[in-house]
Structures are given as structure tokens and as C-alpha cells.
Amino acid sequence: MNNGRATSGGGPEGEFEVVGERPSETIVRAVSEVRECDPVELPPLHSALDPDALDELFEDTVSGRPRRGGSLAFEYADCRVSVLGGETIRVEETD
């Protein structure tokens, strides 16, 4: 499923918008694009963090409004991944 949009990508870094999918899904797809590999070749995302907790952190508020602000950065599959407001995923290779 390729619902997120790459605003840049392919190569040692990329920036991706979360559109129509959970941030955890966009992260796996984005890292696979930057690393130029199939997503199944990556380690499970839960080896770096709890994907459900990540998605809950950035889900809509109780009133249904999009949650704004907040960021999270972590290492995954030899990449530094930054989640910005739950709307943008930035991936940079670290090796």
C-alpha cells in the first residue's frame, strides 16, 4: 500500500507525508525506499519501538481533530527516523 507521498526520497535520505495510513506503516515504507530494499527485508519495527504506541501518540484527538505538534526521533534499520507532528516522516541513513 503506497498511500504516503514521498516529497523527496530514494538515496541516503527522504521526507515522506503520512497520508491515508498509520505513521508506523509510512515509516517502514519510507525506510525501505531510502535503503532501497523490500520492506520484508527490514527488521520488525517493534525492535526499535512500539508501533501501536507511536500511532496512538499521533492519532486524532478525542474530539476528532488532528493532533498538531510533537515530534519523535529514533534509530531503525541503520537510519535516523524523525516523526514530525504525525504528518511528516524524515529518514536519513546513518551508515
* Per-residue pLDDT tens over the stretch 67-94: 778 899 999 999 999 999 889 999 999 9
Please name which of 68, 66, 59, 55 lies closest in space to residue 26, comparing C-alpha atoms.
55
Lowest average pLDDT, out of 10-14, 47-51, 57-61, goes to 10-14
Could you tell me the residue range of the domain that residue 20 belongs to?
A: 5-93
| CA atoms of 76 and 89, how far apart (whole Å) | 13
Provide the domain count of the chain: 1
Average pLDDT over residues 1-26: 74
